[in-house]
Amino acid sequence: MGSFPTLTGTRIAIRSSNLSGRCGYSAPMRATTLLFGLLPFMLHAQHCAFDHYSIIVVRPHVEGDTNVVEGLRIVLLDENNLPATATGTPFHLFQRNTERPQQWMHPSTWRRNGKRQFPFAEDNYILVVPNHFHMDNYRVLVLDERPGTNGPRYRYQLLHLHPTHCKPLCGHYNDEVYRTGPGEFPLNVAYISLFER
């Protein structure tokens, strides 16, 4: 029988098990576990592009005619008759639903919707606002500031809004018809009659 070889080299310190003393995972491991645990809730938290936004739809027309008057300046005013803002961001100028979107959606979506931003709003003027706007305190001002002398000019009109004029966009923004559930008010387009100066 031979002799066993002698092991030489670095001495290994044997530590006690990780179960004794401080027990648990390291901080990065806890953070990673928490992230994966909350991931399903975070993915479901915002379920559409227009979460927390509503739309106001107005249809200015000449008295006795239902066609929309083009080229008007329509402004949302707050309780002090100033252009509406939300946390310093202006939310006051309406635009035609048929105009190329300046925000909110990609131009390809606009083209796919038949060159309408929101199909249910047809060719009306629209304004997307945060949900926390209380419509009881807001008004719509319609101004005819079109240049030139061709055609009639209209007097300004001021309309006090009602909460039913503001409808949530989430779940409806691609609808051809704005569908509501039981007990909900249908889309209430604000019809504004215009009179010549």
Coil, strand or helix at 41: helix
The neighbour count for residue 35, using CB atoms within 10 Å, is 10
Coil, strand or helix at 145: coil
Give burial (CB, 10 Å; 0-12/13-18/19+) of 106.
exposed
Task: Report the first-to-last Cα separation within the chain, whole angstroms.
Answer: 121
| pLDDT, position 184 | 82
Separation of alpha carbons 133 and 127, rounded Å: 12
Residue of higher predicted confidence among 175 and 154: 154
Phi, then psi, of 190 in degrees rounded to 5: -85, 105
Candidate from 101-115, 145-159, 163-177 with smallest mean pLDDT: 101-115
Which of 7-21, 95-109, 134-148, 165-179 has maximum average pLDDT? 134-148
Separation of alpha carbons 18 and 70, rounded Å: 75
Phi, then psi, of 90 in degrees rounded to 5: -70, 135
Separation of alpha carbons 29 and 12, rounded Å: 27
| Domain range list for the chain | 53-194
| pLDDT, position 134 | 78
pTM for this predicted structure: 0.70
Angle at 180 (CA atoms; ends 93, 47), nearest 5 degrees: 70
Q: Tokens 């252009």: give the residue.
A: 83
pLDDT for 73 beyond 90: yes
| pLDDT, position 98 | 81
pLDDT for 81 beyond 70: yes
Angle at 47 (CA atoms; ends 46, 52), nearest 5 degrees: 60
Residue of higher predicted confidence among 139 and 173: 139
Instruction: Answer yes or no: are the C-beta atoms of 60 and 192 closer than 8 Å.
Output: yes
| pLDDT, position 176 | 83
Give burial (CB, 10 Å; 0-12/13-18/19+) of 126.
buried
Separation of alpha carbons 60 and 127, rounded Å: 14
Q: For 4-39, how does the pLDDT look when each residue is reduced to its tens digit (9 = 90+)?
A: 555 565 555 555 555 554 555 677 777 777 666 665
| pLDDT, position 69 | 93
